[in-house]
């Protein structure tokens, strides 16, 4: 199971790597402006945001739904070939890609936490980081046209679907969505400080995920060097995933506070020194804290806090990566179009808001 999960994360995050490193640049080259790119990249997180509420209304994240998500992902990537230069068609394609990926990942995350536990989770998840970095280093050498990126995206989506199907076949029945007897104990408004902090951290990443490549190349950093910056951050992330097990035995809430504060500093450095490679590499090193450690601490905290395990992961995907990603993409698009100098300063303020909210969460919940 360890090998299958490792392969799944490798291929899944290879898709993510193409999607967030290269597609914004591809769309910019095709002729889309910053606000249009922000809207297009907001489509996927919008779907993530809506889905958890459908599950609260009776939809069940089961094996059948999971299989449908695999087909949706492959078909939506195929549709990119016909929709790339047409705004509304591309928006529609992104919505379906977001639907498929939003159903797939939480399902596998529950399998991972059930079968290998939070201490070993990082050692599996680091293969996703390796997939992210390897596809970035390879694709940057072959990206002679927009459709080369789509070819890579299609092949990797097919491989991801095949491996995900194998994960399903080998997963114990008790490790995924069979929680009909468990009462929903997730109360977003009761725990608003926690969920608000999770959302704000992800909102702060809107500038990074959707515009970091454009932002740095606009400041005179070459595309090759920008990819090296991405890759360096992911290498540091891999190290954190491998060694973080011991940190997760302590207070998960304190880890959320610490990683949010590291995120504040990270975005402030990018804002202050957008052309200083030394500072930029240091800011990328903070990715180990602001993404790797934060992500594992967050999903582990929710897995520990709530009885309804699968729904808690759905809400994490939907509320944070969904609503947070949607809001972050839209805000980043308009900030970069009208106030480009302050793009990462706005991200720093969002992360600081998250830090303040985490500080207000009561420690005894951990």
What's the average pLDDT block by block, 10 residues per block, for the chain (366 residues)? 88 87 80 82 78 70 83 92 88 88 82 77 83 82 76 90 88 58 69 92 89 87 87 86 79 91 96 93 92 88 77 79 83 87 94 95 62
Count CB atoms within 10 A of the CB of residue 22.
25
pLDDT at 365: 45
H or E segment and range at residue 104: helix 87-115
Q: Please tell me the total count of domains within the chain.
A: 1
Per-residue pLDDT, 227: 83
- pLDDT at position 50: 81
- pLDDT in the model for residue 203: 93
pLDDT of residue 98: 85
Q: Is 144 exposed, middle or buried (0-12, 13-18, 19+ CB in 10 A)?
A: exposed
DSSP string, 149-205: HHHHHHHHHHHHHHHHHHHHHHS-GGGSS--TTS-----TTTTHHHHHHHHHHHHHT
pLDDT value of residue 39: 83
- The pLDDT value given to residue 364: 52
Output the pLDDT for position 184: 61
pLDDT at 26: 81
Residue range(s) defining the domain that contains residue 213: 2-365
pLDDT of residue 57: 66
Q: Note every long-range contact of 358-362, with CB atoms under 8 Å and residues 24 or more positions apart, other chains counting.
A: 358/193, 358/194, 358/197, 358/253, 358/256, 358/257, 358/260, 359/257, 360/193, 361/191, 361/193, 361/194, 361/197, 361/253
DSSP for 225-247? HHHHHHHHHHHHHHHHHHHGGGG
| pLDDT at residue 366 in the model | 41
> CATH code at 292?
1.20.1250.20
pLDDT of residue 267: 96
Q: HSE on the CB side for 125, CA within 13 Å? A: 30
pTM of the model: 0.73
């Amino acid at each position: 199971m360890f090998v299958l999960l490792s392969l799944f994360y490798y291929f899944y995050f290879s898709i993510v790597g193409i999607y967030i490193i290269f597609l914004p640049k591809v769309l910019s080259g095709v002729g889309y402006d910053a606000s249009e790119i922000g809207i297009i990249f907001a489509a996927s997180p919008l779907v993530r945001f809506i889905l958890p509420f459908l599950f609260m209304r009776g939809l069940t994240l089961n094996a059948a739904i999971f299989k449908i998500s695999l087909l949706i992902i492959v078909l939506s990537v195929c549709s990119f070939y016909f929709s790339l230069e047409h705004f509304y068609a591309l928006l529609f394609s992104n919505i379906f890609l977001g639907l498929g990926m939003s159903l797939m990942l939480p399902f596998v995350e529950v399998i991972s936490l059930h079968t290998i536990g939070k201490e070993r989770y990082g050692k599996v998840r680091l293969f996703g980081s390796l997939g992210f970095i390897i596809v970035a280093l390879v694709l940057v050498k072959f990206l002679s046209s927009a459709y080369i990126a789509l070819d890579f995206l299609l092949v990797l989506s097919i491989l991801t679907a095949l491996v995900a199907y194998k994960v399903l076949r080998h997963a114990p029945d008790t490790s995924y969505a069979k929680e009909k007897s468990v009462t929903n104990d997730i109360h977003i408004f009761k725990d608003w400080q926690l969920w608000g902090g999770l959302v704000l951290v992800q909102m702060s990443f809107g500038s990074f995920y959707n515009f970091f490549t454009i932002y740095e190349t606009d400041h005179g950093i070459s595309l090759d060097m920008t990819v090296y910056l991405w890759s360096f951050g992911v290498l540091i992330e891999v190290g954190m995933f491998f060694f973080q097990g011991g940190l997760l035995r302590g207070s998960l809430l304190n880890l959320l506070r610490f990683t949010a504060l590291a995120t504040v500093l990270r975005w402030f450095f990018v804002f202050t020194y957008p052309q200083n490679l030394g500072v930029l590499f240091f800011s990328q090193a903070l990715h180990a804290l602001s993404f790797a450690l934060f992500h594992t601490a967050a999903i582990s905290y929710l897995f520990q806090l709530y009885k309804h395990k699968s729904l808690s992961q759905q809400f994490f995907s939907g509320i944070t990566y969904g609503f947070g990603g949607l809001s972050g993409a839209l805000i980043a698009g308009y900030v970069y179009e009208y106030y480009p100098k302050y793009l990462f300063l706005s991200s720093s303020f969002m992360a600081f808001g998250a830090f303040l909210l985490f500080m207000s969460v009561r420690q005894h919940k951990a």
